[in-house]
Amino acid sequence: NAGVMQNPRHLVRRRGQEARLRCSPMKGHSHVYWYRQLPEEGLKFMVYLQKENIIDESGMPKERFSAEFPKEGPSILRIQQVVRGDSAAYFCASSPTFRQGGEQYFGPGTRLTVT
């Protein structure tokens, strides 16, 4: 059973460009979460999605950031007009439809560098 997959693993963008980060949850998982991690810090929640629905986007910046989890295909985190402050590691996590505990399973992350 493959784990959570994210791509690309590393992404370099110039200021003003768009960044698209992809996440495929574990098989059987219908809940997807995106987190951002700055160097030397813990992970900060951004958004929680189920198929075709945004459940909680309380951690998403109001502008330039958007997320989707379509009926078919991976979840996408999109950052428009990137700025240097967007440089961070972005992690996706998934959890099963019927959870037994509090765990979320994380992917390897996408390291975004804005030059």
Chain positions contacting other proteins, by CB under 8 A: 4, 31, 33, 35, 40-45, 48, 55-56, 58-59, 91, 93, 95, 99, 101-109
How many other C-beta atoms are found inside a 10 Å radius of the C-beta of residue 98? 7
Can you read off the two tokens belonging to residue 18?
A: 């768009």
How many other C-beta atoms are found inside a 10 Å radius of the C-beta of residue 71? 6
Based on CB atoms, which residue is closest to other proteins, 17 or 29? 29
Q: Tokens 């929680």 map to which residue?
A: 48
Residue 64 CB, nearest approach to other proteins (Å)? 21
Based on CB atoms, which residue is closest to other proteins, 85 or 102? 102
Residue 91 CB, nearest approach to other proteins (Å)? 5
Rounded CA-CA distance 112/87 in Å is: 5
Residue 65 CB, nearest approach to other proteins (Å)? 16
Residue 83 CB, nearest approach to other proteins (Å)? 24
Based on CB atoms, which residue is closest to other proteins, 33 or 86? 33
Rounded CA-CA distance 23/59 in Å is: 18
- Terminal alpha carbon distance of the chain: 37
